[in-house]
């Protein structure tokens, strides 16, 4: 199981000292109907109250005291709350209104920890390490940005492993569907358990092992799908056109994911598919281009369908093997600072090019497709792309954890930011799903072959 969809910078260290502008090393699309949502659990809606923390804590404790006749508890926490309220003004002046680590905040955390430790009814479920991770994750989640994520040590190691093209899972690429808060299958790797189990691109994962995943971070969903080799994961799938959910069991195995596939057609056209832009992709793409060109290709079909994105430096390297001299992409941060990535044009493609895209072509895929379209060196065929025009920087921390943070917007060579809109293809061609899955006919690819034949002739 892999996840992506980010134009990532990878910084190898991070510490105090402010912004580091240097570098080492989606969102709109037509959405399927939202699966039926379960009602709230009995006894309430589960919504968050809007009252002040201290007032809520006091009210909850007083109710508990009345029910359980624990008057001492009510008095003791009332005094604690009163003391805290009295010190609020002084704390604000001392620590600054915007401080997250001020005295009042720390006292509040201590109060919460004490109440949980003393009253939570399942002692064995209290895990201090998870609580601490939850604090860090909650801080990042408060940004409301699905692409900014805190990784604990285990999650960070798994992410680094996946970018090297090897991981343990089912062989499918996942992206987060913002309309439903669920995971969407952006692509299925050929010959993997996911393909053998019948999973398809654009399937929506509704539950994993009979547990709902709506609202979880993508990293958490991926970790639930992944697991030890040989074990099974049960997926509840929503598929457009099906009357009911599909219940599918998939056996996990070690996945060595080739990110680039290629072949030569009898008419002298080369076909190259890039599944994602990982650390291994540059070398794999270089090999593919060498074979295709060495075979005397008269034209190339570049397939970016289902490609969720990946590393910004990698897609820039690949663009330099295709584009003419000039700008590939530029980024701009909140300070207005602009960083440009250019091509010297020495490897500009001199034969016809068709690029296949769809609603799951995101992020780095859109950088490449956008540049091809702006320079008019190829024809885009398929459907509107995902629409992710922002860049994340991955900041490894000194304790083995990491923070992925959205740091800038990116713009195509002509200055277009496609975030939330995507890239319109030159030729719109919807996938005939029935023909593809029943008869094995890829009508979008067939259309690409027709167009490139016209270009060659």
CA distance 13 to 23: 11
Query: Could you tell me if 325 and 295 are in contact, meaning their C-beta atoms sit under 8 angstroms apart?
Result: no
pLDDT at residue 420, rounded to an integer: 94
pLDDT at residue 368, rounded to an integer: 98
Task: Kindly report, residue by residue over 92-119, the tens digit of the pLDDT.
Answer: 444 445 678 888 899 999 999 999 999 9
Distances (CA, A) of 391 to 6, 119, 136, 167, 366: 7, 43, 21, 24, 12
pLDDT at residue 428, rounded to an integer: 98
CA distance 94 to 88: 10
Q: For residues 409-427, give the mean pLDDT.
A: 97
pLDDT at residue 14, rounded to an integer: 26
Share of the chain above pLDDT 90, in %: 61
CA dihedral 323, 325, 326, 329 (to 10 degrees): 30
Angle at 248 between CA 247 and CA 249, to 5 degrees: 130
Higher pLDDT, 351 or 216: 351
pLDDT at residue 228, rounded to an integer: 85
Task: Kindly report, residue by residue over 44-76, the tens digit of the pLDDT.
Answer: 333 333 333 333 333 333 333 333 333 333 334
Active-site annotation holder among 84, 373, 388, 404: 388
Active site residue 365: no
pLDDT at residue 166, rounded to an integer: 57
Active-site annotation holder among 257, 363, 365, 408: 363
pLDDT at residue 96, rounded to an integer: 46
Q: For residues 292-300, give the mean pLDDT.
A: 93
Q: For residues 79-96, give the mean pLDDT.
A: 44
pLDDT at residue 163, rounded to an integer: 58
Higher pLDDT, 354 or 439: 354
Q: Name the token pair of 451.
A: 């167009």
Active site residue 374: yes
Task: Kindly report, residue by residue over 298-343, the tens digit of the pLDDT.
Answer: 999 999 999 999 999 999 999 999 999 999 999 999 999 999 999 9
Q: Which pairs count as long-range contacts for 257-263, CB under 8 Å and 24+ apart, including other chains?
A: 257/2, 257/165, 257/166, 257/167, 257/171, 257/189, 258/165, 258/284, 259/165, 259/284, 260/284, 260/285, 260/287, 260/288, 261/190, 261/288, 262/288, 262/291, 262/292
Active site residue 388: yes
State pTM to two decimals. 0.68
- On the question of pLDDT at 157 being above 50, the answer is yes
Task: Kindly report, residue by residue over 226-280, the tens digit of the pLDDT.
Answer: 888 899 999 999 999 999 999 999 999 987 778 999 999 988 999 999 999 998 8
pLDDT at residue 22, rounded to an integer: 30
Angle at 24 between CA 325 and CA 175, to 5 degrees: 85
pLDDT bin (cut points 50, 70, 90) of residue 41 is very low
Q: Name the token pair of 316.
A: 């820039």
pLDDT at residue 177, rounded to an integer: 81
Q: How many helices (H) and strands (E) does the chain have?
A: 13, 22
pLDDT at residue 191, rounded to an integer: 87
pLDDT bin (cut points 50, 70, 90) of residue 167 is low
CA distance 265 to 268: 6
Task: Kindly report, residue by residue over 177-195, the tens digit of the pLDDT.
Answer: 877 889 999 888 888 999 9
Active-site annotation holder among 203, 278, 317, 374: 374
Cβ atoms within 10 Å, residue 184:
24
pLDDT bin (cut points 50, 70, 90) of residue 296 is very high
């Amino acid at each position: 199981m892999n996840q992506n969809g980010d134009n990532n910078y990878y910084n190898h260290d991070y510490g105090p000292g402010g912004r580091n502008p240097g570098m080492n090393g989606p969102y709109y699309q037509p959405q399927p109907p939202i699966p039926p949502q379960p009602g709230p659990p009995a006894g309430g809606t589960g919504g968050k109250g809007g009252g002040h923390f201290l007032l809520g804590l006091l009210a909850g404790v007083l109710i508990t005291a009345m029910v359980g006749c624990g008057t001492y508890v009510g008095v003791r926490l009332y005094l604690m709350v009163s003391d805290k309220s009295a010190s609020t003004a002084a704390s604000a002046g001392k620590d600054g209104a915007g401080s997250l680590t001020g005295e009042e905040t720390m006292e509040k955390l201590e109060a919460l920890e004490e109440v949980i430790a003393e009253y939570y009814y399942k002692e064995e479920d209290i895990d201090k390490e998870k609580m601490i991770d939850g604090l860090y994750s909650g801080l990042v989640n408060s940004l409301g940005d699905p692409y900014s994520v805190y990784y604990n040590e285990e999650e960070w190691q798994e992410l680094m492993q996946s970018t090297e093209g090897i991981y343990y899972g089912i062989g499918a690429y996942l992206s987060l569907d913002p309309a439903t808060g669920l995971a969407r299958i952006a692509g299925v790797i050929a010959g993997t358990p996911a393909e053998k189990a019948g999973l398809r691109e654009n399937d929506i994962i509704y539950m994993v092992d009979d547990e709902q995943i709506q609202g979880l971070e993508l990293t958490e969903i991926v970790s639930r799908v992944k697991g030890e080799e040989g074990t099974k994961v049960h997926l509840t799938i929503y598929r457009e056109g099906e009357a009911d959910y599909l219940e599918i069991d998939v056996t996990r195995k070690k996945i060595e994911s080739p990110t680039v596939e290629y072949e030569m057609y009898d008419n002298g056209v080369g076909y190259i598919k890039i599944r994602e832009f990982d650390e291994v992709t540059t070398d794999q793409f270089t090999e593919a281009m060498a074979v295709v060109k060495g075979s005397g290709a008269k034209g190339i079909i570049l397939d970016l369908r289902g490609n969720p994105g990946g590393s910004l430096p990698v897609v820039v390297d690949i663009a330099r093997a295709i584009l003419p001299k000039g700008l590939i992409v530029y980024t701009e941060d909140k300070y207005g600072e602009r960083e440009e990535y250019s091509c010297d044009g020495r490897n500009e493609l001199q034969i016809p090019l068709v690029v296949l895209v769809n609603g799951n072509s995101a992020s780095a895929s859109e950088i490449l497709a956008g540049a091809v379209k702006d320079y008019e060196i190829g024809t885009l065929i398929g459907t509107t792309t995902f629409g992710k025009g922002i860049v994340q920087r991955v900041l490894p921390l000194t304790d083995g954890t990491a923070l992925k943070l959205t740091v800038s917007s990116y713009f195509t060579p002509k200055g277009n930011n496609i975030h939330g809109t995507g890239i319109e293809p030159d030729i719109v061609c919807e996938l005939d799903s029935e023909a593809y899955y029943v008869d094995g006919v890829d009508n979008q690819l067939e259309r690409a072959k027709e167009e490139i034949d016209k270009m060659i002739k």
